[in-house]
Amino acid sequence: MNQKQSLWNKDFILICLTSLFMFTSFYFLISTLPMYVTEVLKGSESNVGYIVGVLTITAVLVRPISGYLLDTMGRKSVVVVALVAFVAVTFAYNLATSLLILFLLRAIHGLSWGFTSTGAGTIASDIVPAARRGEGMGYYGLAGTLAMALGPVLSLYILDKYGFNTLFTTGSIIAALALLCVLGIKGFESNIDKKKTKISLNSFLEPRVYSLSVVLFFVNLTYGGIVSFITLYAKELNIANAGIFFMVYGVSLLFVRPYAGKVFDKRGPNQIMFIGFLALAISFLVLFLAKGYLMFILSAIILGIGFGIVQPTLQAMAINRVEPFRRGAANGTIFTALDLGIGIGSISLGLVSNTLGLSYMYLICAFVVIIPMLVFFWKDAKKPSTQMG
């Protein structure tokens, strides 16, 4: 294989490590921050909701702006500044002595997260050879998957042994490792918009990936029902440790993502995406029918197959549709749809579960998957998946 098609070079390894450290630091607070709110700051469950949710809101608001700056000011410079802020705000949780201060820090954390996660994905898309984009973005996504498994486990261990101060400090150190990795990457600053065209809505969002963003929105709307309610559903099924669902789901992703990427690179998206949508629908149907461990775990396996196919394929398709200097806007657009899907899904499916119960909520999710599937095969399946760079 010639050098042009080489995937596992120094820069690709560094951006994967950047993602691993960055996401691990992020997931450090997913399971531990609610305890800090209630145990240390004596806040209520509603306070937890506001403080956890404000990060998603600020990340959504900033993603289109981050995409524009990545395309006009350069990838590396934007990501480095954002990671410096990410490290600082993670350490600053040590200074959060009130709910207001914590809320403000969480908002700033969301701003930096919007920039860093969008920027790292854009740098990865620059580094990966066009002919291996599906495979490469699949491997890149595995870093976040590993972090999703490692972060909560490691953070809970540190919290139990050493307390919150050590937890926040360790999280900032891990984020600093991500910063060091980015500094070692070339940066690909040639992939920027030298024309500096007049600012408009299209400067921040990429119209050519709107249909893919709609697909991603509805897919992640159903995922909002997983991240918000799978723990409660496990209790209904008398399953003691709901964490096994995410562990099995993560392992499934590890195996599926690289394979799905290779199929996309060789055969295009249609066949593999049909399998992905089908797997998602079946996984929610199995959850609806679950009565105990067996089907609960089986659902996690099938869900990993579905998301392991659909999300990286959509991201690779989005990158293929635009010029190199528009990759930031493309990533900002699809990541905004992803965040909105999870957020709106959590709220809307919560209302459904209050009325019909959790099992029927998951049954509805199985039918919701039909919407993005129809949109995809109506708007995107017939479009060529050629690479623009």
Query: Which tens digits make up the pLDDT trace of 264-280?
Result: 888 888 899 999 999 99
Q: Stretch 19-42: mean pLDDT, rounded?
A: 86
What share of the chain in percent tops pLDDT 90?
A: 38
Best-predicted range by mean pLDDT among 63-77, 187-201, 375-389? 63-77
Tell me which residue of 126, 148, 27 sits closest to 331, measured CA to CA.
126
* pLDDT, tens digit, 9 for 90 and up, residues 200-248: 556 677 888 889 999 999 999 998 888 777 877 888 899 877 778 878 8
* pLDDT, tens digit, 9 for 90 and up, residues 140-193: 888 887 887 788 778 888 988 999 999 999 999 999 999 999 999 875 555 555
pLDDT value, residue 234: 86
Into which CATH architecture does domain 205-382 fall?
Answer: Up-down Bundle (1.20)
Say whether pLDDT at 34 is over 50.
yes
Domain ranges of the chain: 6-186, 205-382
Q: Stretch 78-83: mean pLDDT, rounded?
A: 94
pLDDT value, residue 14: 95
Answer yes or no: are the C-beta atoms of 300 and 233 closer than 8 Å. Answer: no
pLDDT value, residue 387: 56
Q: Name the pTM for this structure.
A: 0.76
Q: What is the mean pLDDT of the chain?
A: 85
Helix axes 243-267, 133-162, angle to 10 degrees: 160
Say whether pLDDT at 282 is over 90.
yes
Tell me which residue of 19, 255, 257 sits closest to 150, measured CA to CA.
19
Considering the four listed CATH numbers 3.40.50.10680, 3.20.20.80, 1.20.1250.20, 1.10.1740.10, the one that applies to the domain covering 6-186 is 1.20.1250.20
Distance CA 279, CA 310 (A): 10
* Per-residue burial over 239-256, b = 16 or more CB atoms within 10 Å of its CB, e = otherwise: beeebebbebbbebbbeb
Dihedral sign, Cα of residue 188, residue 189, residue 192, residue 194: negative
pLDDT value, residue 2: 42
pLDDT value, residue 212: 92
Distance CA 273, CA 221 (A): 17
Q: Do the domains 205-382 and 6-186 match in fold?
A: yes
User: What ranges in the chain are assigned the alpha helix state H?
Assistant: 10-27, 33-35, 45-72, 75-92, 99-127, 133-162, 164-183, 201-204, 210-236, 243-267, 270-289, 293-320, 327-356, 358-368, 370-375
pLDDT value, residue 244: 82
Best-predicted range by mean pLDDT among 19-28, 83-92, 148-157, 352-361? 83-92
Which residues, including other chains, have CB under 8 Å from residue 12's CB and lie 6 or more apart?
Answer: 124, 127, 128, 136, 140
pLDDT value, residue 1: 37
Q: Stretch 41-55: mean pLDDT, rounded?
A: 76
Q: Of the ranges 141-150, 277-286, 304-313, which one carries the lowest mean pLDDT score?
A: 141-150
Q: How many CA within 13 A on the CB side of residue 188?
A: 24
